[in-house]
């Protein structure tokens, strides 16, 4: 997706910021893993590049993910400590809190705004340092996809995140929102 590329550097910057100072983030949850792009970015900017921890046995940041669709599983998922398969509503309440949560290009796929609000409530309850959300800044039809979960069903304008206390950055085709706790 063209607009999603605009998120890569700002997300990397936001993740790297969580590692600066006396209390670096020790855990991250990526909701809507997909192919694993943001897991790679998280591992790179939270463990590898800053700290030089190149091999799995050296990693100190716990990076987990949640993915609804098994068909996305691929070798990139090895960058995660664990990927939970299933719906965020049933998985998130069973997990411990995470320092950082990512929810990039996922919330617009939820079937209703109410389900999206529940996701935001869970993110805010289960995150101790920073929440990062990315979503298209316009609603557009996604056409026919083989999986129902791939369609866009809801639209999240920047104002909805601002009302909840998020900082918002408008990017080419995207809204990137984050909230520090």
HSE toward the beta carbon, residue 160, CA cutoff 13 A: 17
For residue 150, name the pLDDT band (cuts at 50, 70, 90).
low
Work out the percent of the chain whose per-residue pLDDT is above 90: 72
Give bridge partners of residue 180 from the DSSP assignment: 130
Per-residue pLDDT tens over the stretch 64-84: 999 998 999 999 999 999 999
Mean pLDDT value across the chain: 90
d(Cα 12, Cα 68) in Å, to the nearest integer?
24
Report residue 3's pLDDT band, with 50, 70 and 90 as the boundaries. very low
Per-residue pLDDT, 136: 84
pLDDT of residue 2: 40
Q: Strands, DSSP E only, in the chain?
A: 27-31, 62-67, 82-85, 98-104, 127-136, 167-171, 174-180
CA distance 132 to 179: 7
- What does the pLDDT read at residue 6? 77
Residue 117 is predicted with a pLDDT of 97
Q: Given 3-state DSSP classes, what are the helix, strand and coil percentages for the chain, each rounded to the nearest 5?
A: 40, 25, 35
CATH architecture for residues 3-180 = 3-Layer(aba) Sandwich (3.40)
How confident is the model over 26-61, as pLDDT tens digits?
999 999 999 999 999 999 999 998 788 999 999 999
The tens digit of pLDDT for each residue in 101-121 reads 999 988 998 889 999 999 999
Give the span between the Cα atoms of 22 and 155, in whole angstroms.
38
Q: Kindly report the pTM of this predicted structure.
A: 0.91
């Amino acid at each position: 997706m063209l607009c999603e590329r605009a998120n890569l550097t700002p997300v990397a910057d936001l993740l790297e910021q969580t590692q600066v100072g006396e209390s670096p983030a020790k855990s991250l949850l990526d909701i809507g893993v997909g192919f694993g792009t943001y897991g790679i970015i998280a591992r790179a900017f939270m463990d590898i590049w800053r700290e030089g921890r190149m091999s799995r046995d050296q990693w100190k940041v716990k990076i987990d993910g949640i993915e609804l669709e098994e068909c996305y599983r691929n070798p990139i998922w090895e960058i995660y400590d664990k990927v939970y398969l299933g719906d965020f509503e049933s998985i998130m309440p069973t997990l411990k809190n995470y320092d950082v949560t990512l929810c990039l290009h996922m919330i617009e796929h939820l079937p209703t705004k109410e389900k999206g609000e529940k996701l935001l409530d869970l993110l805010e309850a289960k995150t101790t340092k920073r929440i990062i959300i990315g979503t298209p800044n316009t609603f557009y039809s996604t056409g026919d996809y083989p999986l129902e979960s791939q369609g866009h069903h809801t639209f999240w304008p920047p104002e909805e995140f601002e009302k909840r206390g998020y900082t918002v950055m408008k990017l080419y085709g995207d809204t990137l929102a984050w909230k520090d706790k």
